[in-house]
Amino acid sequence: AGNSIATDRSFIARDMPALDSFLHYRMIDVSSIKELCRRWYPRIYFGQPAKGLTHRALADIHESIRELQYYRRTAFVSPPGPSTSEIEAVAAQLAGRNDPPQPIDSAPGPPTG
């Protein structure tokens, strides 16, 4: 998970081929989701928590995970989506946190039907 992961993926393919064999050839990073929200859900895009300015590897990873949590809780929900106040509440809850992010929930299994 992260933002703009193409370079990271090239590094993994070159230096960690065993790990690369587990990864899908399609890459969806947090930046992709952010751009979709910018176009489809501007309220969500403009309501996102502010980013930190540390630009250190571990801090950037934690920030990307928090950003993905934000999109998971605001964009990937049942229609009509969250209200502005719900978006602000999620952003406030995730903003400025320096603790390691919690795991992102995922589907319990593959879709059926």
Q: Is 41 a catalytic residue?
A: no
pTM above 0.85, yes or no: no
Coarse DSSP helix, strand, coil percentages of the chain, rounded to the nearest 5 percent:
50, 0, 50
pLDDT of residue 51: 81
> Are the CB atoms for 86 and 74 separated by under 8 Å?
yes
CB count in 10 Å sphere of residue 107: 6
If you average pLDDT over every residue of the chain, what do you get? 83
| Catalytic residue from among 25, 41, 45, 71 | 25
Spatial distance between the Cα atoms of 78 and 56, rounded to a whole number of angstroms: 35
Give me the residue spans of the domains in the chain: 28-94
